[in-house]
């Protein structure tokens, strides 16, 4: 079933959903105990594109998500969505977090319907959209199942459907597939990419997985060590629709991957010199990967 106006109200392309960060800063604490986490950070999340952010562990990516969602206010600079300053959370920006946020006492259908019901929009049309989304994400046969009866991948798909039924201008995803096993994760990459290629809404996806980043991104934003700012913006000009086998057999994709890895390695080395365990792990993994050659790819399924 194709995603279109008749299934749940999404438009193929929009003129809304673009966010810009302008010299954004965020610090915690005060006086001599002030800790800057984000500093002089500027970039644009383009409408109708899938923008992926990657950076060293602990660099401030989650802080940026909270700022974009409006859960926190920046210490300096401004965040604007379609020209209007972001000052609070809004249904135009929905976040899918690392941890499952499905309500365990609700079945799959009721979880997806939570947003519309909270807004008193439980109409026959909305219920039809929920059913269409269940079919689209492959959970039609699991509509009466509870989260504990679903696999990790199924839970992630249910959460995507629960966000999509609210028809946001922008979806923000914070490492949503992090807890999945390698095979489930790769299946979710292709599944999520297919949803985006049909839906074409603005997506901002945060990850620490370089393969995930390259496969999904239209644009890749590489962040510095803490206090974080943009180190580089890389256009991932690989045609869509994408399949894992096509992308990771692609010399151009591997060149982009090695460019991003080199930048991340430089930032991790800075953090490593300060004693970061996560940075030490990255440096070790990077050394093994480069020793094995630049043509490595995810495990096949």
CATH of residue 223's domain is: 3.40.50.300
The verdict on 40 and 157 lying in the same domain is no
Cα separation, 192 vs 239, whole angstroms = 16
Residue that terminates a domain, selected from 132, 149, 167:
167
Exposure string for 149-182, b = 16+ CB within 10 A, e = fewer: ebeebbbbbbbbbbbbbbbbbbbbbbbbbeebee
Band the pLDDT of 5: cuts 50, 70, 90: very low
Closest CA to 95 of 201, 172, 205: 172
Give, for 195, the enclosing helix (H) or strand (E): helix 182-199
Residue 160, in any domain of the structure: yes
Residue 235, in any domain of the structure: yes
How high is the pLDDT of residue 199? 83
Residue 299, in any domain of the structure: no
Band the pLDDT of 270: cuts 50, 70, 90: confident
Band the pLDDT of 97: cuts 50, 70, 90: confident
How high is the pLDDT of residue 146? 97
The verdict on 279 and 153 lying in the same domain is no
pLDDT digits (tens, 9 = 90+) for 219-254: 999 999 899 999 999 999 999 999 998 888 889 999
Centre a 10 Å sphere on the Cβ of residue 262 and count the other Cβ atoms it contains.
13
Residue 158, in any domain of the structure: yes
pLDDT digits (tens, 9 = 90+) for 45-70: 999 999 999 988 888 999 999 999 99
User: Is it the case that residue 280 has pLDDT exceeding 80?
Assistant: no
Residue 239, in any domain of the structure: yes
Give, for 123, the enclosing helix (H) or strand (E): none
Cα separation, 142 vs 1, whole angstroms = 17
Cα separation, 111 vs 106, whole angstroms = 6
Mean pLDDT over residues 152-165, rounded?
91
The verdict on 125 and 42 lying in the same domain is no
The verdict on 87 and 112 lying in the same domain is no
Residue that terminates a domain, selected from 167, 197, 217:
167
Cα separation, 220 vs 223, whole angstroms = 10
The verdict on 233 and 287 lying in the same domain is yes
The verdict on 88 and 192 lying in the same domain is yes
pLDDT digits (tens, 9 = 90+) for 177-195: 988 888 888 889 998 999 8
The verdict on 227 and 275 lying in the same domain is yes
Residue 191, in any domain of the structure: yes
Closest CA to 22 of 36, 41, 6, 7: 41
Its pTM stands at 0.84
Residue 298, in any domain of the structure: no
Q: What total of structural domains would you count in the chain?
A: 2
Q: Which has the higher per-residue pLDDT, 76 or 138?
A: 76
The verdict on 191 and 285 lying in the same domain is yes
Which residues lie below 8 Å from residue 294, measured CB to CB, with a gap of 6+? 254, 257, 258
- For residues 96 and 171, the answer to whether their CB atoms sit within 8 Å is yes
Cα separation, 48 vs 193, whole angstroms = 13
How many helices and strands, by DSSP H and E, does the chain display? 11, 10
Q: Tell me if residue 77 falls in helix, strand or coil.
A: strand
Q: Is the peptide bond before 241 cis (omega within 30 degrees of 0)?
A: yes
User: Is it the case that residue 291 has pLDDT exceeding 60?
Assistant: no
The verdict on 61 and 117 lying in the same domain is no
Give, for 59, the enclosing helix (H) or strand (E): none
Q: Which domain holds residue 181?
A: 5-92+172-292
How high is the pLDDT of residue 6? 38
Residue that terminates a domain, selected from 133, 167, 201:
167
Cα separation, 225 vs 62, whole angstroms = 13
The verdict on 148 and 208 lying in the same domain is no
The verdict on 58 and 118 lying in the same domain is no
Residue 245, in any domain of the structure: yes
How high is the pLDDT of residue 205? 96
The verdict on 16 and 119 lying in the same domain is no
């Amino acid at each position: 079933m194709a995603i279109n106006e008749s299934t749940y109200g999404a438009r193929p392309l929009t003129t809304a959903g673009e966010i810009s960060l302008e010299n954004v800063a965020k610090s915690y604490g005060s006086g001599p105990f002030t800790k800057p986490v984000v500093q002089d950070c500027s970039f644009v999340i383009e409408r109708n594109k899938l923008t992926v952010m990657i950076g060293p562990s602990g660099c401030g990516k989650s802080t940026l998500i909270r700022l974009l969602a409006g859960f926190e206010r920046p210490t300096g600079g401004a965040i604007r969505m379609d020209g209007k300053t972001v000052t609070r959370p809004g249904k135009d920006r929905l976040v899918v977090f690392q941890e499952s946020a499905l309500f365990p006492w609700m079945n799959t259908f009721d979880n997806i319907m939570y947003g519309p019901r909270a807004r008193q929009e439980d109409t026959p049309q909305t219920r039809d959209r929920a059913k269409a989304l269940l079919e689209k994400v492959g959970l039609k046969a699991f509509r009466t199942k509870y989260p504990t009866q679903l696999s990790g991948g199924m839970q992630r798909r249910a959460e995507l459907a629960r966000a999509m039924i609210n028809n946001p201008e922008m979806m923000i995803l914070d490492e949503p597939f992090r807890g999945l096993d390698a095979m489930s994760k790769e299946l979710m990459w292709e599944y999520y990419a297919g949803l985006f290629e049909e839906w074409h809404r603005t997506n901002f996806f945060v990850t620490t997985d370089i393969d995930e980043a390259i496969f999904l991104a239209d644009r890749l934003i590489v962040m510095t060590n803490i206090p974080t700012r943009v180190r580089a913006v890389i256009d991932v000009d690989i045609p869509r629709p994408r399949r894992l086998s096509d992308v990771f057999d692609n010399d151009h994709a591997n060149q982009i991957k090695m460019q991003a890895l080199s930048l991340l390695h430089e930032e991790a080395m800075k953090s490593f010199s300060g004693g970061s365990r996560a940075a030490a792990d990255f440096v070790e993994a990077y050394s093994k990967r480069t020793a094995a050659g630049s043509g490595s790819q995810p495990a096949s399924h």
